[in-house]
Amino acid sequence: MAVTTASPPATPVAVSKPAVARHRKKRSWLTFGLGVWAVLVYVFLFLPIVYIVVHSFNANRDFFSWSGFSTSWYSEMWNNQQLKDAVTNSFKAAIGSTIIAIILGTLAGVALSRRPGGWVRGFMTFVLLILVTPEIVDAIGLQLWFFRLGGIFVQGMWPIWVGQAIFSSAVVTLIVRARMAGMDDQLEQAAGDLYATPRRAFFQVTLPLIAPAILSGGLLAFTFSLDNVVITQFVSTPETNTFPVYVFGLTRTLMKPEVGAMSTLILGLTLVSLTLVALALRRSGDSTTQIAATFAGG
């Protein structure tokens, strides 16, 4: 009978302390360098915004020459009728397109989650295609199509509402679908077992549960609409000129200080809207990572 001898256990290779220290030092320097680079990138991106906000309190008529602190432009901007009309049109456009986006996006998100089938993949491809298509392509196509349709599509706020709602409805669809996917469908089944009609189950069970997602999608749609330039530039009429289009027209001339003041107010409104979105998602149980993904359209 052959006798086998057990080989001694392999001894782990010892790593010298100086090598470990050098590795940690190299990693710490790499982390520090990446951190500095990230700070420089953020400063580069956000410095123009800070510049606008600071110079909105400039006493000089020349927006780019600082001559002292003043809040006069925040009262002066209300005397600019063209500016006021542009801001009013912006809010009309944002409210109308948001309502359309909420209705279409909510129905689409619920259908994608609760009515599985072969059509889901094709429809999701269509939704994602809306998000990745260059906005200039959408704008040109909408302008030609609306001109061919005529009627309400070439007058009033309808061209802007429909044009802006196309992109916003895709965002609302993804957010509502994600919320529906994480919701237990047994709650809706229980409502049916208690003799609730599908309509009543939707309004009393499903809708309250997905309300944070609808609110988040609606506020994001409102924010996207406020700063939309490309589509609005192509489909709007002279009577429906919005604030972003008005400011874009001023880039070829002298920038007015009251425009900076109005931009600061709209920036504040945008930040408040995004804060409300984050609070609504946090209240519904989302983590910081999930909230960031929602803001990114994920």
In a domain, 66, yes or no: no
Task: Determine phi and psi for 42, rounding to 5 degrees.
Answer: -65, -40
In a domain, 138, yes or no: yes
In a domain, 90, yes or no: yes
Domain that holds residue 252: 77-295
List alpha helices for 133-157, DSSP H.
135-149
Q: State the DSSP H helix or E strand holding residue 287, giving kind and residue range, or none if neither.
A: none
Q: Quick one: pLDDT at residue 1? A: 47
- Alpha-carbon gap, residue 66 to 56, rounded angstroms: 10
Q: Which two tokens stand for residue 190?
A: 């229980």
In a domain, 131, yes or no: yes
**Amino acid in position 252:** R
In a domain, 60, yes or no: no
In a domain, 7, yes or no: no
- Alpha-carbon gap, residue 54 to 192, rounded angstroms: 58
In a domain, 44, yes or no: no
List the chain pLDDT tens, one digit each, 298 residues.
445 555 555 555 555 556 555 656 666 778 888 888 999 999 998 898 888 888 888 888 877 778 888 888 888 888 888 888 989 999 999 999 999 999 999 999 988 888 877 888 888 888 888 888 888 898 999 989 888 888 888 888 999 999 999 989 998 998 888 888 777 777 777 877 677 787 888 888 888 888 888 888 888 888 888 888 889 989 988 788 898 888 888 777 777 788 888 888 888 888 887 787 778 777 766 667 666 665 654 5
Split into its structural domains, the chain has a count of: 1
- Alpha-carbon gap, residue 104 to 98, rounded angstroms: 10
Q: Quick one: pLDDT at residue 10? A: 53
The CB density around residue 241, as the number of other CB atoms within 10 Å, is: 18
Domain of 150: which CATH number? Answer: 1.10.3720.10
In a domain, 50, yes or no: no
